[in-house]
Structure 1
Amino acid sequence: MNKIFLTLISLFFIVTNTFADEVEFTASSPKVVAVGEQFRLSFSFTARGSNFKAPDLRDFNILSGPNTSSSSSIQFINGKMSKSESYTYTYILSARKKGKFTISPAKIKYKGKVYKSNSIIIEVVKGSGNNQNANRGNNQGGRIQKSNIPASEISNKDLFVRVNVNKRTVYQGEHIIATIKVYTRLSLSGFEDMKLPSFDGFWSQDIPTSSQISLERENVNGQIYDVGVIKKEILFPQRSGVITIDPFELECNIRKRVRSSQSVFDDFFGSSYQTLKKKVKSKPIKITVKPLPETNKPSDFSGAVGNFKMQTYLDKKTVAANDAITLKVVISGNGNLKLIDPLKINFPADFDVYDPKITNNIKNSNSGSNGKKIFEYLIIPRHAGDFKISPISFSFFNTKTKKYLTLNSVEYNIHVDKGSEEQSTNIVTGFSKEDVKFIGRDIRFIKTDYFKLHKKNEYLFGSLTFVLNYIIAIMIFVVVMLIRRKHIKENQNISLLRNKKANKVSKKRLKVANSYLKQNKKENFFDEVLKALWGYLSDKLNIPVSELSKDNASSILQQSNVDNELIDKFIDLLNTCEYARFAPTTIDTQMDKIYADASKIISKLEQKIKRIRN
């Protein structure tokens, strides 16, 4: 425990020093405000700076500021600790007149260097008396009370939802960014019964957004709205023609001011409020999807659309027969990366080639799907000789140039030496592996030297051959019985049986976790990974489930002479899985890494514990 505590303290100081030099200076404010409306302008710096200089604010009335505040936080992400701090300089301003105004960058000094914030453009529109009165009313207190005011009184101009797309005409396979937004001039207290579009005809991917919907001002046809982003999706059309995006439906809870009576006390103590429910529905969106051109379409084109690069790596060019070679193909760029299938590669017929291991390292953002997809082929040459892997080609349609592009790798020459287990020194050319095997069975070579002939089925009772066969049969029977008795005894020893099957059981659980990973079922995935980790430890070291804890696990692993570094990785992975189960969002690449780390850690523990016990 003392070692773990000291390690955490050391990590704290290391992370603090590391993050101290990574500073940001950002300015933020509403994008749209009304004339005379008060709003907040903030400048945030992620360190303790000095000599803060505000920009020229002559186009606005300064009601307050600069007011200084600070905050700090410590986070554990994927088992790693990070510390962040922020110092904020805030102004309360009001706009004087209509127009678009640019607030230039502020300046601050830190460690002898001057940092500048970003500039901000603020649109000032004509003020609305109704809006201002409504905003003042929303800030008053009051009790929620039933009222006869129907929800139908709420105008569609005061509350509506939209599905905004960045493009309405695309090629098949070209990505579209769909952003679902709610627009309101009322006070919202929550949402219910959200019904997302089915996105039929599209392959869709989530863009991570905050679990908390924050509202920003936008100018829509001269009216100011509070606008919140509910969801973002990347859509890849899978067929040509006109595809309709279904309407988005949402039920909003609206906090509305009402008078409970004609009492003059309402003017002093504030009016009452009621919560109204209003269902809103977006309009359907039609997307025109153009088919990919047939002219100059490469023969190996399989549907990749975007802008990509290809890299190939061969780990060995000289190898002994029956030794493994790894060929890695990396496709990187922006587009429908996850839909790219393994490439067609012409391997020599003498090579055994296994299905590729596929790794996705892809991030979804407002610019689409970016990252890389890796195919790793395990190749085993079976006989000596010189072989070639022809250039690997990958074709895709570039939506910017509206042309097909084919990328080619180099040709790989592989020299295979005779292996220790190779049966034949002859190299047969012009035949496949199946042809060689068939010839070996079908035709026997003519014997030219002296040889003896024996009568077939000549077998005398009591001969030496008969006695030897009889003795061998008895010995085999005795060995089989001894092995069977040992197996029965081991099965009766439950702890020993659990110990032997611990690795096998954990692999089965990780296989289930991998299926959940492919289905993007995050909670199920992390549950299975945790079961695999805890289950392996319980079975391998015979720890009762009731006694499973991180402290106990760490202590028992130390007693088993497992390295502290491996123990720390095991505990960190447990922490990461437990945190990710309840985190609002988890990136796919993080799940891929967690799955890979779990497999490696269990494998290393298995090797270490076996070595120690043997």
Structure 2
Amino acid sequence: MMAMHGRKRWIFLCGVFFALLWAQGIDAQDVMIRASVDRTRVEVGDLIQFRVEVEAAQMGSVSAPQVPTPDGLQLTGSTSSTSMSVNIVNGEMTTKRTTTYVFSFRAQRVGTHVLGPAQLAHEGKTLRSDQVRIEVVKRSGRPQTRPAPSTGRSMGQSEIQEIEQNLFLQAIPEKRMVYVGEQVGVTYKLFTRYDLRNVQYGHVPTFTGFWAETVFDAQRLNMQREVVDGRAFNTALLKRLALFPTTAGKHTLEQLEVNCEVVGGRRSRGLFDFDPFGAFDTQQVAVRSDDIEIEVIPLPAGAPKGFGGTVGKFEMRAEAIPGTVKAGDPVAVKVVVQGAGNLHAINEPIRPERSGFKFYDPKTNLETRKRGTRISGQKTFEYVAIPYKTGQVILPPFTLAYFDPVQKLYKTVQTKPIALQVTPGEQMPQPVDGLPGEEVRALGRDIRYIKPDRMHLADQGLLLYQRSGFWLLQLIPVLGVAGAYAYRRHRVRLEGDVAYARRRRSRSEAQRRLGKARGLMEAGDSAGFHGEVHRSLSQFVADRTNRVAAGLTADQIGVMLVERGVDAQVIAGVQDVFGQCDQARFAPGQISAEQMQALFAQTEDLIGALERCI
């Protein structure tokens, strides 16, 4: 009886196997392509996910779809995943494989844009999906919370409202009405009642219409307690900037966006719910600040002579060394302008006229001090001046005109006059109009002048075209054209194939970030070092796999490496590096230089190993 049951089971399995082969052969010709988006109305700066689903019995003969990038949208990355289903209906078995490609676009311009069609080649034919229209509107200007682009899932309205009430980002300007060139500080603070992980910038404003100076940029979250409307929040200062408007009118600062993970309850640990990469439920969200509108007033009329656009509060002094000099010898003149404002915009002070000195163009040096949201410091102009008068010579004042936005007045500052003692110098030879004939003849012996007394010229050998070197030189243009063609093909592929470009640059980008991490390690900046190591490794994996780095977690990276068949020991090393970095950034302790050196070497080895695997 047992032998009979075993024989029936074997016959059934063989039938299933041949049915699968038969179904694949029947469905090999059937390929379907569908396209959709996560939303059809977005604001400028938002991300749109364009999903392309390709269904076929055999994916090996189906190429990846190509999606054109319309004007007004920017392709930021793409991912793909594959699933398989088996259906048995009335004794007939069919199989279907579905590959989902997700293309992420960032909206850059207001208007209606068309995504698609996505198209792919199959058995000599081109298959196309439907087109999808996207409406891009101006930013609403209010803070928003939404799922991070890398999650691929949406949240309900009630869930979004709950998170927005307990997690938000504020942009706080010092003032909303300033003059052109006047300094205005902006502070960005994060407010949360959740436990957050992997906090990273998603989008940083470009501050169009302003000269921007970063005063503070957080490398790790330093949480403080703060009460808002009777509710206690943990707050962290993210950025402080000093902005200097360059043109008049109303300017709107773009929104700052932060991606992070909101940590929820502990995951279940059932028999079939084993999670090797974490122990808590997390929701990845993107939080952005509100728009800031700043009205910039033009400077008033009546600017003094020599005004070059300097705005702020400044003083000026000068010194000259040495105090006693011979006529014709140089004097070092240093003019120092110090105060608060945009030091980069300070033009050279007006030099004294008819001073008895010849001035050469100065060398400039800039020193800045940052405190709160204010920038101050000094700008130094170092001149070389040649006196051409003797006796006691007075170096007249240098002059600088600026606009004081507090008193709303134009002001002029001057240096104090400097007295110098100039003594007669050595007598310099005077130029002559002509030379005696003997000197002309001597000159003739010193230079290669024409020799009219030669009757015969020496034989110069082979003609130019008879020499082998001449023909070798003719190969240079040919090699140059071939090299230019190869380079052009390489550039075209870099511009058109995002995945190829990111893979080619992944190693050099990783080396650049590790170089920065080494500098932070040598400077003793533990938090900055661990943050840069974390970014180096996560961005390298994202570049090699053509994923968006923003929002990638250690758990997701582990799953990606498992799917690509990376050795378990390498995956364990990657998880260990991420764990050490998170521990150092968010739960800092005393970390020695030897530990940072070991982590740096481990990261270099892992990047080399991953480069060979993915």
TM range (shorter): 0.3 to 0.5
Normalising by the residue count of structure 1, what TM-score does the alignment of the two structures yield?
Answer: 0.44
Normalising by the residue count of structure 2, what TM-score does the alignment of the two structures yield?
Answer: 0.44
